[in-house]
Amino acid sequence: MAGDLKQHLTPELFKFMVDREKAWPVLKALSQYGLDQVPDMMEFLPPPEDPDFPSQALGLQLVLDQAPRDLLEGIHNRWTFDYFGDIALRFARQLQALPPHLNPAAWARWRDSVSLDYFIFVRLWFGAPLVHHEATPDEAGAFTEETRRLVEQTLETRDPHRDQPEKRWDLHGFPRMLTEKGPSSPCGAAEGAFWIACLLDVHRPPLDRFGRYPYRNGFLGRVDTPEEEAWMEKAPMFAVDPDVRRRIRDDVEAGRWTPLDEGTE
């Protein structure tokens, strides 16, 4: 079965991830394995020493972490958070476990081919699976802080959000920042990077309070607590269609998954 997946997980795909629709066959193929049988994602990449490894690793990370968010809707959002999120996290941890000189999220691996501005956002993409997963708030925070320090030291500036704990650790900061949106373009590398770093930080307060992201409950077949319901009232953009929520709950209770090519009508 891994052989079939190789025809989809190709260097051309990783380099062409600006067109996320091309990731659909990959998501469908991966969904048929089951989490315990998903192949090692590293086998689809060149050796870490290869000059193309960083860009291809980034492309694969986007396939696993971002493409589901772009392509999957309704009942299939369960796959995004409860399946592909685990695969993306597993792969992200493999990348971070590489020696520093081989880590694709290290500036040294990109400095000869891209600008620092470009790399900053590349690195933030590498850290996204850590932020998106409910089980890794400490890993996510450490990765984001390391990125923040890199920007501060390289550009000789200071993230103003360091002096705004009421913003970084606001329980409702995530939906608030999404509503406010980011700085207008062009905003400069530092301002843009610091805004995104703060956006990543504000993912943590709900985890600290509830032990999970309340806005995912509907897509994971979970029942809201009263306190989570109160939180969701201030985050209406995360509301889940009641019928979708019921169908996912039925799937979870029955121990089944609605296949990716079904259930969207």
Q: Tens of pLDDT along 125-176?
A: 999 999 999 999 999 999 999 999 999 999 999 999 999 999 999 999 999 9
From CA 104, how far away is CA 96, in angstroms rounded? Answer: 8
What residue spans define the domains of the chain? 1-113
Assess contact for 45 and 57: CB atoms under 8 A.
yes
User: Could you report how far apart the first and last alpha carbons of the chain are, in Å?
Assistant: 29
What DSSP assignment string belongs to 211-258?
SS-GGGGGGTTPPPPHHHHHHHHT-GGG---HHHHHHHHHHHHHT---
Tens digit of each residue's pLDDT (9 = 90 or more) over 66-92:
999 999 999 999 999 999 999 999 999
- Looking at residue 5, its pLDDT comes to 53
Residue type present at position 114 = V
Contacts 24+ apart (CB under 8 A), 188-192: 189/116, 189/117, 189/120, 189/151, 189/155, 190/151, 190/155, 190/157, 192/120, 192/121
State the average pLDDT for the chain.
91
Range with the lowest mean pLDDT among 18-32, 173-187, 196-210, 242-256? 18-32
Residue 83 has what DSSP assignment? I
From CA 247, how far away is CA 256, in angstroms rounded? Answer: 11
Whole-prediction pTM: 0.89
Neighbours of 163 (CB within 10 A): 10
Torsion 46-71-196-142 (CA) sign: negative
Tens digit of each residue's pLDDT (9 = 90 or more) over 221-241:
999 999 999 999 999 999 999
Token readout for 169 is 């650790």
Residue type present at position 37 = Q
Which positions ≥6 away from 233 have C-beta within 8 Å? none
